[in-house]
Every structure is written in structure tokens, then in C-alpha cells.
Structure 1
Amino acid sequence: MDWNSRTRSLQVWDTELSADTVEWCPLPQWSHLLACGTYQLQKGEDNSAAECATPSRIGRLYLFQFRSQGSFTPPLTEIQRIDTPAILDLKWCHIPVLERPLLGMATACGEIQLHTFIETQHNSCGLEHVLSTELGPDRLVLSLDWSTGRGEGIDPRLVSSDSTGSLAVLSLGEASLTTVSQWKAHDFEAWISAFSYWDTQLIYSGGDDCKLKGWDLRMGFDFPTFASKRHSMGVCSIHSNPHREHILATGSYDENVLLWDERNMRQPLSETAVGGGVWRLKWNPVHKHLLLAACMHNDFHILHCQQALDGSEGPCPILASYILHNSLAYGADWSWLPLNSSASSLPQEAAPVSVTFPDLGGHLRIQYESPTASFDTSLEDDLGHYIPDHTPPPGKSSPPEPVPLPSTGENSAPLSCLLATCSFYDHMLHVWRWDWSPGKTEEEPGEETTEPPPTS
């Protein structure tokens, strides 16, 4: 089946400080809420943080609401901003806590903070700090994940990872956030931690030691259930599929997205080169085969994983790319807000941006920088060779084959999704829309359209 795919920018917001995480609220009544976290390393007079023994890291938490109110009204409105320690990760709990949304925040001061959303009788609303737990001195909390990823559970728990290579599991009580377990999991920074949403006794972690590990909370923490070095560089993104049991997605600085079956972690189901270090991965909240990837030096991409999950070999096709950010692609999330396929009420999109690169006449050295500013990773060896030689950028790989729409029935309905992404050094938050429909249509002015190659 032929299809038409297009991405359209709806609004761009300057966060002032470097933006690295963005999360839509997953609860139906509050799915119009969007949180964005920022991270700024305060540098000295010589513009260097290296000479400072205890560099200052500041942040800001933004809360927005999304309302599509007509062609000339920006849909995103700021509700609140809170100055905080630098923020490395944000996650909403997938179930209400005390009948309210609850937002978890990983900070550069070694704390996990919880904020609840409140509405007053005077039509004002916002986030209110309710609980904090410090995981230890001289560490940055790099990631967190809730055990409630399938929208179920009566005992929400958190897992976090930090800059010392440690993981922590925390239990949420009526008036407390308690560290239940904490252990050393990786030799260097533990960039990411995540629950298996189908068996929340299982936890996955990835670190700068290039290892992907599994942990069973019932078996202790002396040894992981597995340790894989299938990724050739630091593992920095993991997400359990909330719709399909045993499916796990991982990403790394090696510029590859791997899909796994949790029952066999010796060999991935598929490997997809995306041309940039994969900082975040997010499964679509409704369509089980769609995966969003934030690819640092190579923008944001939507992958279709159905063929890989059904047992077919080969990489996952990239259905759409959002290329309008001008800096490191870090934060990304799908909105849970349902959208009408009609675009008549949306703001007029700007003309497409054309980006060209001069011919430098030599090899381009790529530096990967972590949001913590704690290390640089050069992707060029001493001989000037690009290290992930097995990872060609998407423009040089074979074009994706046409794939069916992620819905059942012969007459597939058009698909429309709302997304938010943010980038680091240009401190920008983008809200954009992706439309996907069967059948080819003529490209309209001001739209970026991606179509599959003709089939024989």
C-alpha cells in the first residue's frame, strides 16, 4: 500500500536554558499537560567549567498546556516555571496518585523530586513539590522510570540511575519516597534505567561501560541476570514496550537502535542505524509498532518496527524525520492527546528550512557530549577513521521498503500524532504533528513530505 507521511511544526519555544527532557502527561484527564526540563552548567569567567571543583548546575522546570484554538493562536501556553537544580530526566507516573498527576524529576544534586499537579478553586493550577529523596553525595541522577508503564499497579515504584554507575529502586508511600535497594551496576556513568512493564521485578540498565544489563529484584544484586556488550559504545536509552510482552528497545552512542526479546538477550531481533547517538527511545502510547528516537547529532526519527517484531530480518524502516532542530536532539515524547486528522484548526506552518553543508575537503570529527558535561566521546580514531563504520547515516543506507499502516482492516484510517522534542545548546522546545495516510497526495507548500520509493 502506498502512503503519505508528513511532519509539520506547530510551535517553537525558547527555554532559555539548555533543554534536555520533555514529557507529556499520560493521564486522559490531563493529557494536555506538557513538562520540559532544562540543564545549564554555570561556567567560570574563562568560560570553562573544568577548573571548578564543584561546578554549579542549574535548571528550570516548565509546565505547559496544549490547546488547539484556531489557525492564528499558538497551541502551547506556559502555565508555570520553577527554578530547580539541573534536570536530567522527567517522567509522569502512568496512574494517578491521590487522584492527581505525579511528576518525577531526576536532578544534578543527587535528588529525585516528586511534584503533584494541583488545581485551585480560583482557576489556577500548577505543580507543587511534595517529596524528595537524596540518593547520595557527589552524584547526578541521570534517569528514572516508573513501574506503571502499562497504566496498571497499586504500588508505584521508581528506578533511577546515576553518575556513579549505581541504580536505586524507590517505593512510594502515602507520605514518603523510600529507597528500597541501591547497588553498583556499572563501572562508569549509568546513563539509563528502566522497568520491564510486564514483570516489574525485572530492571534493565545501560552505562558508559558499553554494557546493557538485566536485574531481577528477587535474586539480589551481586550479579546481573545478563550483561550484553552488543552495543559497541555507551548504552543511553532503554524502553520496554507497554503493548507487547517481552519487547525491549535500546539505543547507544554507537548510533544503533536494537530491538530485543527479553527471553533471549544473546541476539537482538533487529538493528537499525539512525546516524546519531540514540539518547532517548519512546514507544507510541497507542500503536505498538511505532518507536520515536532522539538521535543527538541526527535529529528525531519515527521507526516502524512491525516487520522486525514479526520475525523478519533487517532494519526497521524510518517513516518520518523531524529535522528543524539546530542542536543536539535529546528530549522526545509522544502526546497521549487524541488528534483529529483534519489540519484545518492547526497553526499555519512555516516554509520548509533548507540546510546545506559546505564541502570541507576533509574528514569531519564528531564529538558526543553528555548533558552532564562530564565527558566527550570522539567518534574518530587516531588514523582519522570514523569509529562506527558499520553504522552508515540514514541518507547513505538503502531506502525503507513500504510498510502497512499500524492498524487493522483493509481500509486503514489516517493516523495523526502530536509530539514534542527539545534540543540542547539552542535551548529550543518544538511541538509538531505527524500525519500518515494511505495513498499518495501532492505535496502542499510548507510541508516536509516523505514518500516510499515506487515498487515494481
Structure 2
Amino acid sequence: MDARCMTRTLQVVDTEYSADAVEWCPIDGWHNVLACGTYQLKMPEDKAGGDSENTKPHMRLGRLYLYSFHQEQLYSPLTEVQRIEMPAILDLKWCHVPLAEHPMLCLANAEGRLELFNLIAEEKNSCLLEPVCSVAVGPECLALSLDWSTGRGDQSESVKIISSDSKGCLSLVSVGGSSPALDVVSQWKAHDFEAWISAFNYWNTDIVYSGGDDNKLKGWDTRMETDGPVFTSSRHSMGVCSIQSSPHRQHILATGSYDEHVLVWDSRQMKRPLADTHVQGGVWRLKWHPTQEQLLLAACMHNGYHILDCKGAFAASVEECPILYSYILHNSLAYGADWSRLPLDAQLAADSQPLSSSATESQKRGECEEGAKKLETEFQDLKIQYESPTGIFDMVMEGEAEDFSGPDFADGSQASGTSEGADMHTVDGAEQPKHEACSNQERTGASLLATCSFYDHILHVWKWERNSTASSR
């Protein structure tokens, strides 16, 4: 199978605070809505004449951004519609089904709480998030992750949330339907150190998974006593920090770790993974494509973002999943990543068509130059900072001292990811690997993605196109 790809960076946004979580709304009619969570450590202010060493704890500040994406706005498709100041955000996820007739967003924050918001429509095609309720998952801890039980879009079962925290505990939370409310049903110690990640088995939501800084991947049956897991895997050699069950294929599970490996599992056989892929960066987040079952997006900290083809893993015919594409334009730790369900085919076709005959060459040149200058300005205006986040992250990020020099866009070219060692040529004004280029006629659709990085506090929105043709390698 020969995969030919091309990408285009659509917009770059400075989130001011360090960005660590991003997710597109999965609800029909709201696919153009994007939420982004941030985390910033604020040093305590020194008092006049006080001690040189301030013993006050650092403040963990956060900001929740809500954006709206409009394809017709060619060079600035992403518009900020709301920002909310709050405690630092460690994770955020949309419920996959509407609750009380509204899209629902839940976030995990640095005060050890889960916060629930509903999305409401405003006039003139706008929208806003409104707080609904919150619940504490534990005292003096950070809520590190959460997952909804609704990954397959099933509305027939009761809605639940699983959350993990910095004390190594998991919390199972029920969510009311007609009148949403959060209630901790059960809580248990799962890991000796930080429980970085928690996730449901979307095909059997009584089963949950967790990963911790003790290098363990564990499975739990919430119908039973939670004094022991149903399985424990030590296949990862470092902390397990990302897990996602496939919403398309029963028994398929993806996990990632600081050991820089993405593992694809058959959940019926957890002794040995179906595939093991080295991505050369700690795997902070994994996201299955919403419609193409074989595609897996990985946020790989020091090594950008990678799109993996897991088709061979499903058939147990490969030992590792091919990396179809690598987006490496972020200049800092790759944390947040998500696919949008918004269809882009119509707009892409419009992008590839020439302007109408009434348009002059100077008009076309002017529009291209305007778009290139805008993208260049967005990059140049970014304020690169090196502030340390929470102490938990300090342990993980030790040695974060590389030169975060920004990409050079002096020639006005647009941005694109690359594949390591690939020959390059230009497509749509951006350098592309030759073996990943595809013509307009070969295009078979496009995906819209959002990714965010930590120390440079940057949000990227970009599109990725792929054409698959049968060929022998």
C-alpha cells in the first residue's frame, strides 16, 4: 500500500498560556467548534523587604478557549469566541452524545476537580460555554485525565466518566442525563505514582484502563471489587501516559508511553501487542480517526505529531505500524491533538480550482501574498517562553533545553510537516516529501486537525490529505 499525502497549515494561534489539551466537538451541527485548554505556572510575588526565598506555593493558572472554524475565511478560518479564566487544565474532552439536548465538555483541572460545561447557541451563528456543575476527585491532587463512556456514540447506556489523578487514584463518575450532574460512584488506588491516563473500553464500559508513572498498564472491571486489576502489563518500559479504545473495532486498544512506543493491542490477549511502533518521542496523547478506522494520531512530545496506519496491526501481519505522516512544525512539547469530523472536501476542491475568469492575475497574486504574510506574521509574533509548569511535569521535562528557534518563513511559503530523510518538492507553496505528494485528481478527501504545544504556547490548525493506491513496496 502506497500512501501519498499532503498537508497545509491553515492557522497558528498564540494561546499565551502553555497549551496542553485540544479537542473538536463531535456532535452533529457543532463539528466546527474547537476547545483548547492551557496550563501556566505563576511564581508568587515577592513582598517588599521580605525574605529572598518565597515559601508561597506557585499558582497554577489556566484558560479555556473556545474557537469556531469557518472554511470560507481562507486565511483566518479560526475565530476565538470565548475565553474563561480558571485553574490550570490538564485534560478536556467532549461527550460524544448530547446531554439534555446540548453538547457537553468536561475538563480536569489542577485543583483536583472535574468541571462540566454545556455548549449553547447564541445569535448570529455564535456559541458559548456555560458552567453546569463540578465535582472533586480528591483533596490536594491534580486531576490528570478523563474519558467519557460514550466513545461509540451510544445513547442507550448510562453516561459515565473515568478520571485519574496525581495520587495514583481512579474515580468513576456518573453523569445525569436529563439534568446533568457529576457524582463519584467509586474511587480506588490504581498506581503507586501518578496515574497519567484513564480510558474506557468503548465496547464494554464496565471495563476501564489506566496507565501510571509506575510503568504499568492496568485493566479494571468496575462491576467487581477494585482491590486488584483484571490484568497488569509491564510491556512499556516507562510511564504509560496515553490510552484509547478504538470506537470502530471491538477489542482494539492503543497505548503510548514515555518510552516512545505506541502499542496496538487485542484486549483479549494483553500479554503481547499486535504491533509496536517507535515514534521517537514520549506519547502524550493518542486519537483514533473518527471515520477511518486504521488511522491513529499520536502527540509525541519532543518529536511532533505522527499519523500511523494500523491496518496491518488489525490483521496481525506487521510488527510495527507505518508512519504515514509527521507534522513537526511545533517548536516545543507536543501535547494536545485531535481530528475534526468537519468535512473539508468541498473547500479543498475550491482551493484547488482557479479563480473565476473575471479575476485578474494581480488579484490572485495579492490574495496569495496576503495569506502568506498573515501566516508569517503569526509565527513572528509568537513569544517563546521557557517557564516551568507543575512540579509533576518538571520531572518529565528535565533536560528541556533545546534551541526553540522558530521556522523561517521569510520566503512567504506555507508550513508543512515532513517525513524524516524524505526528498522534498513544493506543493501549494509548501515543501513536501516527494513520495508523499498527490495530484488534485488523486485526492480522496481531507482531514482537519488541531494540535497544540506547551512551552511555546501554540495552537496549530492544519489539514491533511491522503490518497491510497495499491502498489508493492
Q: TM-score, normalised by structure 1?
A: 0.82
> Are 2:297 and 1:292 equivalent residues in the alignment?
yes
> Are 2:328 and 1:323 equivalent residues in the alignment?
yes
Residue 134 of structure 1: aligned partner: 136
Q: 1:306 aligns with which of 307, 311, 315?
A: 311
Q: Is the 8 A contact 2:44 2:56 kept in 1?
A: no
Q: Is the 8 A contact 1:92 1:101 kept in 2?
A: yes
* Change in CA separation of 1:159 and 1:250 when aligned onto 2, cut-off 3 Å: same
Give the whole-Å Cα distance in 1 for the aligned partners of 2:32 and 2:267. 33
- For 1:424, the aligned partner's letter is F
Give the whole-Å Cα distance in 2 for the aligned partners of 1:244 and 1:369. 37
Q: 2:172 aligns with which of 158, 163, 169?
A: 169
Residue 255 of structure 1: aligned partner: 260
* Shift in Å, 1:375: 2.0
Q: Aligned with 1:307: secondary structure?
A: helix
Residue 375 of structure 1: aligned partner: 395
Give the whole-Å Cα distance in 1 for the aligned partners of 2:442 and 2:224. 46
Residue 106 of structure 1: aligned partner: 108
Residue 361 of structure 1: aligned partner: none
* Change in CA separation of 1:61 and 1:371 when aligned onto 2, cut-off 3 Å: farther
Q: Aligned with 1:375: secondary structure?
A: helix
- For 1:376, the aligned partner's letter is V
Residue 423 of structure 1: aligned partner: 453
- Aligned pairs (5 A) from 1:45-444: 52=55, 54-71=57-74, 73-120=75-122, 124-154=126-156, 155-173=158-176, 174-340=179-345, 342-345=348-351, 372-376=392-396, 395=420, 414-438=444-468
Q: Is the 8 A contact 1:69 1:345 kept in 2?
A: no
Residue 20 of structure 1: aligned partner: 20
* Change in CA separation of 1:438 and 1:376 when aligned onto 2, cut-off 3 Å: closer
Count of equivalent residues: 403
Q: Is the 8 A contact 1:255 1:278 kept in 2?
A: yes
Give the whole-Å Cα distance in 1 for the aligned partners of 2:235 and 2:469. 39
Q: Is the 8 A contact 2:3 2:324 kept in 1?
A: no
Question: Which deviations, in whole Å up to 9, do the C-alpha atoms of 1:359-416 show, x marking residues without a partner?
Answer: xxxxxxxxx9878435236699xxxxxxxxxxxxx8499xxxx99x9xxxxx996131
- For 1:34, the aligned partner's letter is L
* Shift in Å, 1:343: 4.9
Q: Is the 8 A contact 1:7 1:320 kept in 2?
A: no
Question: Which deviations, in whole Å up to 9, do the C-alpha atoms of 1:89-137 show, x marking residues without a partner?
Answer: 0000000001110000000011100000112457652000001001121
Residue 391 of structure 1: aligned partner: none
Could you list the runs of 5+ residues in structure 1 that have no partner in the other structure?
354-367, 381-393, 406-410, 441-453
Give the whole-Å Cα distance in 1 for the aligned partners of 2:399 and 2:332. 18
Give the whole-Å Cα distance in 2 for the aligned partners of 1:252 and 1:428. 23
Cα RMSD, aligned residues only: 3.0
- For 1:332, the aligned partner's letter is A
* Change in CA separation of 1:337 and 1:52 when aligned onto 2, cut-off 3 Å: farther
Q: Aligned with 1:314: secondary structure?
A: coil
Give the whole-Å Cα distance in 2 for the aligned partners of 1:40 and 1:91. 19
Give the whole-Å Cα distance in 2 for the aligned partners of 1:242 and 1:344. 32
Give the whole-Å Cα distance in 1 for the aligned partners of 2:124 and 2:291. 35
- For 1:11, the aligned partner's letter is Q
Give the whole-Å Cα distance in 2 for the aligned partners of 1:370 and 1:237. 19
Q: Is the 8 A contact 2:443 2:465 kept in 1?
A: no
Q: Is the 8 A contact 1:249 1:258 kept in 2?
A: yes
Q: Aligned with 1:325: secondary structure?
A: coil
Q: Is the 8 A contact 2:2 2:472 kept in 1?
A: no
Q: Is the 8 A contact 1:249 1:257 kept in 2?
A: yes
Q: Aligned with 1:39: secondary structure?
A: strand
Q: TM-score, normalised by structure 2?
A: 0.79
- For 1:131, the aligned partner's letter is C
Give the whole-Å Cα distance in 1 for the aligned partners of 2:391 and 2:24. 21
Q: Aligned with 2:350: secondary structure?
A: coil
Residue 409 of structure 2: aligned partner: none
Question: Which deviations, in whole Å up to 9, do the C-alpha atoms of 1:297-352 show, x marking residues without a partner?
Answer: 00000000001111113210010111111110000000011111635349967599
* Change in CA separation of 1:217 and 1:307 when aligned onto 2, cut-off 3 Å: same
- For 1:375, the aligned partner's letter is M
Q: Aligned with 2:29: secondary structure?
A: helix
Residue 365 of structure 1: aligned partner: none
Q: Is the 8 A contact 2:60 2:390 kept in 1?
A: no
Give the whole-Å Cα distance in 1 for the aligned partners of 2:293 and 2:444. 16
% identity of equivalent residues? 56
Q: Is the 8 A contact 1:369 1:376 kept in 2?
A: no
- For 1:14, the aligned partner's letter is D
Give the whole-Å Cα distance in 1 for the aligned partners of 2:100 and 2:209. 28
* Shift in Å, 1:52: 4.5
Give the whole-Å Cα distance in 1 for the aligned partners of 2:149 and 2:20. 22
